[in-house]
Amino acid sequence: MRCEVVAIGTELLLGQIVDTNSSWIGEQLALAGIDSHFQTKVGDNLDRIVSSIRLALDRSDAVIVCGGLGPTQDDITRDALAQIMGVPLVRDEEVIEKIRAMFEGRGRVMAANNLQQADVPEGATVIDQVGTAPGLICPVGDKVVYAVPGVPSEMEVMVARDIIPDLKRRSGEEAVIVSRVVRTWGIAESTLAEVVGPRLEAMADGGRVTYAFLASGWEGIKVRLTAKAHTVDEATALIEAEDAEIRALLGTLVFGVDDDTMESAVGALLEERGLSVAVAESMTGGMVASRVVDAPGSSDWFRGGVVAYESEVKFDVLGVRRGPVVSAECAEQMADGVRRVLRSDVGLSVTGVAGPAEQEGQPVGTVFLGIALGESTESIELHLGGGSRIRIRQFATISLLDQLRHRLLGLPPVPN
Amino acid sequence: MRCEVVAIGTELLLGQIVDTNSSWIGEQLALAGIDSHFQTKVGDNLDRIVSSIRLALDRSDAVIVCGGLGPTQDDITRDALAQIMGVPLVRDEEVIEKIRAMFEGRGRVMAANNLQQADVPEGATVIDQVGTAPGLICPVGDKVVYAVPGVPSEMEVMVARDIIPDLKRRSGEEAVIVSRVVRTWGIAESTLAEVVGPRLEAMADGGRVTYAFLASGWEGIKVRLTAKAHTVDEATALIEAEDAEIRALLGTLVFGVDDDTMESAVGALLEERGLSVAVAESMTGGMVASRVVDAPGSSDWFRGGVVAYESEVKFDVLGVRRGPVVSAECAEQMADGVRRVLRSDVGLSVTGVAGPAEQEGQPVGTVFLGIALGESTESIELHLGGGSRIRIRQFATISLLDQLRHRLLGLPPVPN
């Protein structure tokens, strides 16, 4: 089974946006055991869209077309598909009603333009919409063209929910692929490759689990394990065994798997130990709090925070003693202060220099983290120079949460 | 003059890395006035690489091939080019010496593998290397194929320094392209298309400025204007005139151009009016503060904030009266409270229900914004239902900043 991807949009060719959709789809196809040999980008031009899709259909069994399903006049994927199928477009009343209901749910009126989003090539099947645009399944002889919107969140739902299962059914693929992403923080990609290297060599013959490393900025290095087997149980057992091997090598550098995030890992530990947390932020300016709030169930353990961007706010609101604010002392007093003012069990803090200029004689990238927990308040000094302002803020944010995670791992859970 | 891009590498198809190179090259071509109608990704397979490049040469006058020039066995772009040109590969001694010198300069010894990087199809011209891989200019009939390494920093130098000038010389293109992105917030893409529609129709014949719309989530809808002319001055004048037309249609829905952001637009107004700001956040959990801190120079006007996630923090720290927290009254008292506690000129607030469950009988997506400015404190009620938790938080964040922007536009700047 071969499936190509055709991404549509002049803005992709002009480099106004990067085509991350095709990459994401390529990954899903690979995980489903479906080959993908070509990916094409083409602009909003009917003839060229038609010729690109026809070429892809010649070379492969299926094509996923991404983009050009919106409500504006340059959204012409529907027309291209009707031309390829040799059928007219038919307006689907049921789709119109769904679009209208979606607008009404948001307290808005549907524009006349949106009606064209309900045009469906005769003989095509509608994929239930996520936003305003429905997807399409278009049979062409014994092959198939899928169309999905270019909005990543809508595209991802349709590909995972409808298209991959349909492709698998068509391909009759019996092998099962199970994958797991092991999430790490605090190790460089080259070091990680060295640590895991002997394990990879030991598996070189006959190993049925493959490794892929993906450096992901402030999300850490992701290690993707993929196992192919006859049954889900068998593939899952292979993954479980390999996960245990990695943890033996990496220890607490592993903070979770798959959709776990640093904040969800920290949240689970806080909940287990029955502790609430509050955070005082200078340089990160609310980024730590905002990440924490992303964790499911954060309202059970997150009280809130103080963004003490201006020094006076540190002194006035958090009771920090006047003095240098890029310092261990300031970080410790901020952590104590926010714990006291917000009445939490744990107080966190971050202060430092995100740039562009140095501050108090400290170079860009100098960061002090504070943790007030139980009887002790401590600070950690980091040097995160050599990056942009936002990168320094991001790395300080994740480092603070990771430091808290390590402190919590040293504490016993609350007995039930 | 038409030029396509072919990006080579199985890792691109598998989604292990995103193909940002093609986007970057596409932008350079557009700015140089060279059309690019297709971009293709293909894996490390000789036959498929050859057929992709041949197809691109059929459709266009020139092709830029990116990747597959490294020292490993899956780097086969050189072989593909020799096959397309119908010539043998010849090892270039001068290139070998440059690679050797490069390794020695880094205190390393050149590996035998690197020798293949000096293989050049007979009749091709070498593009001086930036890393270890030289680029290639390969004539094919009266057309041309350029090959550059996949390492972005090396690719970018060669494209800008050698390839774009060579393409311009071949095309005899004298035109200059200038583009500008007009940033809007508060209007749906379909409505925007309707409002601007008559203008687009009026320009349909003979207009020298083209429009493109790009829905960008909480960054709003971007409208890209592109003008082609004989000189930069002429193209810029066209853009200026069109920008004025759009603003006449959209008014204050336009908040900036190009790299302007909602927070930089708000920051510029605050600075002009000599006002400082502080923010109290419940549901957004620090997201407003974190966006604001992204604005250049924010330390001149941003004092900080209180993340009052837990209700007790609203009552204790901000002095909100006990009662329902998803309410206009609460939003107003939070805005007043944070202005008082952090001693700022303007107090902002946001409280509401991001989900997953309703709260105080209010449905997910119910949001109250508060603005304390001068003598008055007001609240605004929003209904942002129908999206994920993070989308609701993001839209509440930008809506709050946009509401402040509109209030500030009604205030006079501080006289110098």
DSSP string, A224-279: EEEEEESSHHHHHHHHHHHHHHHHHHHGGGEEEETT--HHHHHHHHHHHHT--EEE
Share of chain A above pLDDT 90, in %: 70
> Is A318:A280 a contact under the CB 8 Å cutoff?
yes
Helix (H) or strand (E) holding B277: strand B277-281
Angle (nearest 5°) at CA B208 between B205 and B214: 100
Secondary structure of residue B366 in the 3-state scheme:
strand
Q: Which residues of A touch B310 (CB under 8 A)?
A: 299, 302-304, 342
Instruction: Please enumerate in sequence order all residues whose Cβ is within 8 A of that of A293, keeping only pairs 6 or more positions apart, or say none.
Output: A302, B284, B285, B286, B287, B309, B393
Residue A386: the pLDDT is 67
Whether B45 has its CB under 8 Å from any CB of chain A: the answer is yes
Contacts of A140 (CB under 8 A, 6+ apart): A57, A84, A85
Boundaries of every domain in chain A: 3-171, 176-257, 275-409
Q: Is B281 on the interface with A (CB under 8 A)?
A: yes
pLDDT attached to residue A204: 67
Contact A41 B38 (CB under 8 A): yes
CB-CB neighbors (< 8 A) of A18 in chain B:
18-20, 23
Please name the residues in contact with A265: beta carbons below 8 A apart, sequence gap of 6 or more: A255, A256, A405
The 8-class DSSP code of residue A207 comes to: -
The Cα–Cα gap between A98 and A92 comes to: 10
Element (H, E) at A10: helix A10-13
Residue B414: its pLDDT value, please?
A: 67
B41 CB within 8 Å of a chain A CB: yes
Which residue is closest to A315 within chain B, CA to CA? B342
Say what the pLDDT of residue B86 is: 97
| pLDDT of B205 | 62
Chain A: give the shortest CA distance to residue B398, in Å: 14
Can you say whether the dihedral through the CA atoms of B41, B43, B44, B49 is positive or negative?
Answer: negative
Kindly calculate the radius of gyration of chain B based on its CA atoms and give it in whole angstroms: 28
* Cβ atoms of residues A15 and B26 within 8 Å: yes
Closest-CA residue to B211 (of B232, B186, B231, B189): B189
B30 lies within 8 A of chain A by CB:
yes
Strands ordered across the beta sheet of B254-257: B209-215, B221-229, B176-184, B254-257
Chain A hits for B45, Cβ within 8 Å: 37
Task: With beta carbons under 8 A apart, name residues in chain B contacting A310.
Answer: 299, 302-304, 342
- ipTM at complex level: 0.79
Question: Is B41 close to A38, i.e. CB distance below 8 A?
Answer: yes
Answer whether the bond into residue B356 is a cis peptide, omega within 30°: yes
Query: What confidence score (pLDDT) does residue B214 get?
Result: 78
A390 neighbourhood in chain B, CB within 8 Å: 294
pLDDT for the residue A311: 96
C-alpha to C-alpha distance for B288 and B263, rounded to whole angstroms: 9
Residue keyed to tokens 């430092």: A352
Name chain B contacts of A36, Cβ cutoff 8 Å: 13
Lowest-confidence range among A71-75, A247-251, B286-290?
A71-75
The two most distant CA atoms of chain A are separated, in Å, by: 77
Residue A280 CB contacts under 8 Å (≥ 6 apart), including other chains: A305, A306, A308, A314, A318, A334, A335, A337, A338, A347, A348, A349, A350, A370
Say what the pLDDT of residue A200 is.
82
Residue B288 touches partner A, C-beta closer than 8 Å: yes
CA of B285: which chain A residue's CA is closest?
A290
Transcribe B178-190 into DSSP letters: EEEEEEE-SS-HH
Query: pTM to 2 decimals?
Result: 0.79
Superfamily name with CATH number, domain B266-409: CinA-like (3.90.950.20)
Q: Which two tokens stand for residue B93?
A: 């001694």
- CA B128 from chain centre, in angstroms, equals 30
Contact A113 B305 (CB under 8 A): no
Homologous superfamily (CATH) of A275-409 is CinA-like (3.90.950.20)
Number of H helices, E strands in chain A: 14, 17
Phi, psi dihedrals of residue B227, rounded to the nearest 5°: -125, 140
Structure tokens at B258: 């190009």
**Among the partner residues B193, B214, B306, nearest to A11 by beta-carbon distance:** B214
Strand order of the β-sheet with A135-140 is A125-127, A135-140, A143-148, A62-66, A3-8, A38-42, B38-42, B3-8, B62-66, B143-148, B135-140, B125-127
Contact at CB, A303 and B287, closer than 8 angstroms: no
Q: Is the pLDDT assigned to residue A416 strictly greater than 60?
A: no
| pLDDT tens column, A275-295 | 999 999 999 999 999 999 989
Q: Give me the residues of A, 121-180, that contact B with CB < 8 A.
A: 151, 153
Please give the radius of gyration of chain A, using alpha carbons only, rounded to the nearest integer.
Answer: 26
Query: What torsion do the CA atoms of B128, B130, B131, B135 make, to the nearest 10 degrees?
Result: -40
Is the CB of A343 less than 8 angstroms away from the CB of B312? yes
Residue of A nearest to B20 (CA): A18
Distance CA A398, CA A288 (A): 8
Q: A3-171 belongs to which CATH class? A: alpha beta
* pLDDT at position B187: 87
Question: A303 CB near a chain B CB, below 8 Å?
Answer: yes
- Nearest chain B residue (CA) to A13: B26
Domain B176-257: top CATH class = alpha beta
Instruction: Name the β-bridge partners of B256.
Output: B183
Higher-confidence residue: A380 or A389? A380
Alpha helices (H) along B60-188: 77-85, 93-105, 152-158, 164-171
Report whether A285 contacts B397 (CB < 8 A).
Answer: no
Tokens of A32: 């489903």
What residue type is B226 in one-letter code? T
Q: Contact A25/B16, CB-based, under 8 Å?
A: no
In this complex, is the C-beta atom of A211 within 8 Å of any C-beta atom belonging to chain B? Answer: no
Using the beta-carbon criterion (under 8 Å), do A41 and B40 form an inter-chain contact?
A: yes
Residues 328-347 in B contacting A (C-alpha not used; CB under 8 Å): 341-343
Residue A365's pLDDT band (cuts 50, 70, 90): very high
Rounded to an integer, what distance in angstroms lies between the CA atom of residue B257 and that of residue B182?
A: 4
Diameter of chain B by CA atoms? 83
Q: Quick one: tokens of A273?
A: 């130990």
List Cβ neighbours of A97 (8 Å cut-off, separation of 6 or more): none
pLDDT band at residue A415 under the 50/70/90 scheme: low
B413 Cβ contact list (under 8 Å, min separation 6): B272, B273
CA-nearest residue to B300 within chain A is A310
Smallest Cα distance from B286 to chain A, Å: 4
Dist CA A127 CA A154 (whole Å): 11
CB contact under 8 A, B14 and A24: no
CB contact under 8 A, B289 and A294: no
Q: Pick the range with the lowest mean pLDDT from A206-220, A344-358, B268-282.
A: A206-220
Minimum distance, in Å, between the CA of residue B278 and any CA atom of chain A: 9
**Tens-digit pLDDT string for chain B (416 aa):** 899 999 999 889 988 788 999 999 998 898 787 889 999 999 999 999 999 999 999 999 999 999 999 887 788 999 999 999 999 999 999 999 998 888 887 777 788 888 889 999 999 999 998 878 899 999 999 999 999 999 888 899 999 999 999 998 998 877 777 889 999 999 888 888 889 888 888 876 667 888 878 777 899 988 889 888 888 899 999 999 999 999 999 999 999 999 899 999 999 999 999 999 999 999 999 999 999 998 989 999 999 999 999 999 999 999 999 999 999 999 999 999 999 999 999 999 999 999 888 999 999 999 999 999 999 999 999 999 767 889 899 999 999 999 999 999 988 776 65
User: Smallest Cα–Cα separation from A397: which of A256, A268, A260, A286?
Assistant: A286
Structure-token match 């969800």, residue found: A264
10 Å Cβ neighbour count for B93?
9
CA atoms within 13 A on the CB side of A230: 0
Phi, psi of A225 (to 5 degrees): -100, 135
* Confidence (pLDDT) at A350: 98
The pLDDT of residue B388 is: 84
Q: Which of residues 60 through 89 in chain B touch A, CB cutoff 8 A?
A: none
Nearest to A9 by CA among A36, A40, A35, A34: A40
Chain B residues whose CB is inside 8 A of the A304 CB are 285, 306-310, 313, 317
Q: Determine if residue A240 is left, alpha or beta; phi over 0 gives left, psi from -120 to 50 gives alpha, anything else beta.
A: alpha
The shortest CB-CB distance from A52 to any of B14, B38, B343 is to B38
